[in-house]
Amino acid sequence: MRIEDADIDTRCVNTIRGLCIDAVEKANSGHPGTPMGIAPAAYVLWQRLLRFDPADPIWANRDRFVLSEGHASTLLWSLLHLAKVQAVDADYEVLGRPAVTMADLETFRQLDSRCPGHPEYHWTSGVEATTGPLGQGLATSVGMAIAERWLAARYNREEYPVFDFDVYALAGDGCMMEGISSEAASLAGHLGLSNLCWIYDSNRVTIEGHTDITFTEDVAARFLAYGWNVTVVANVNDLDAVSRALHCFKEEHERPTLVVVHSHIGYGSPVEDSAKAHGEPLGPEGVRLTKEFLGLPTDVEFFVADGVYDAFASGIGARGSRLHAEWDAMMARYANAFPGLANEIDLMQRRELPTGWEAGLAPFAPDDKGMATRDSSGYVLNAMAEQVPWIIGGSADLSPSTKTTLVDSGDIQHSSWQGRNLHFGIREHAAAAITNGLALCKLRPFWSTFLIFSDYARGAIRLSALMELPVVHIFTHDSIGLGEDGPTHQPVEQLASLRAMPGLLVFRPADANEVVETWRVIGGLRHEPAVVVLSRQALPTFDRSVYAGAEGVAQGAYVLADTDGEPDVVLLATGSEVQLALAARETLAAEGFSARVVSMPCSELFDRQDETYRHQVIPPEVRARVAIEEASTLGWDRYVGDGGEVVGMHTFGASAPLKSLMTKFGFTPDKVADVARRCVQRAKEHR
The neighbour count for residue 638, using CB atoms within 10 Å, is 9
DSSP state of 641: G
The neighbour count for residue 6, using CB atoms within 10 Å, is 16
Compute the distance between CA of residue 24 and CA of residue 107 in angstroms, rounded to an integer.
9
132 Rama sector, left if φ>0, alpha if ψ -120 to 50, beta otherwise: left
Q: Is 522 helix (H, G, I), strand (E, B) or coil?
A: helix
Query: Which of 475, 554, 486, 478 lies closest to 514 in space, CA to CA?
Result: 554
* Residue 165 φ/ψ, nearest 5 degrees: -80, 155
Compute the distance between CA of residue 613 and CA of residue 301 in angstroms, rounded to an integer.
56
The neighbour count for residue 153, using CB atoms within 10 Å, is 14
* Catalytic (active-site) positions: 428
DSSP for 523-560, written as a single string: HT-SS--EEEE--SSEEEE--TTTS--GGGGGGS-EEE
Instruction: Give the amino acid at 226.
Output: Y
Q: Is 623 exposed, middle or buried (0-12, 13-18, 19+ CB in 10 A)?
A: buried
Compute the distance between CA of residue 589 and CA of residue 579 in angstroms, rounded to an integer.
15
H/E element holding 67? strand 64-67
Query: Which of 4, 8, 2 lies closest to 239 in space, CA to CA?
Result: 8
Compute the distance between CA of residue 399 and CA of residue 112 in angstroms, rounded to an integer.
43
DSSP state of 416: B
User: Do 254 and 266 contact (CB within 8 A), yes or no?
Assistant: no
Q: Are strands 196-202 and 257-262 parallel, antiparallel or unpaired?
A: parallel
Compute the distance between CA of residue 333 and CA of residue 129 in angstroms, rounded to an integer.
31
Which residues, including other chains, have CB under 8 Å from residue 218's CB and lie 6 or more apart?
Answer: none
Compute the distance between CA of residue 329 and CA of residue 335 in angstroms, rounded to an integer.
10
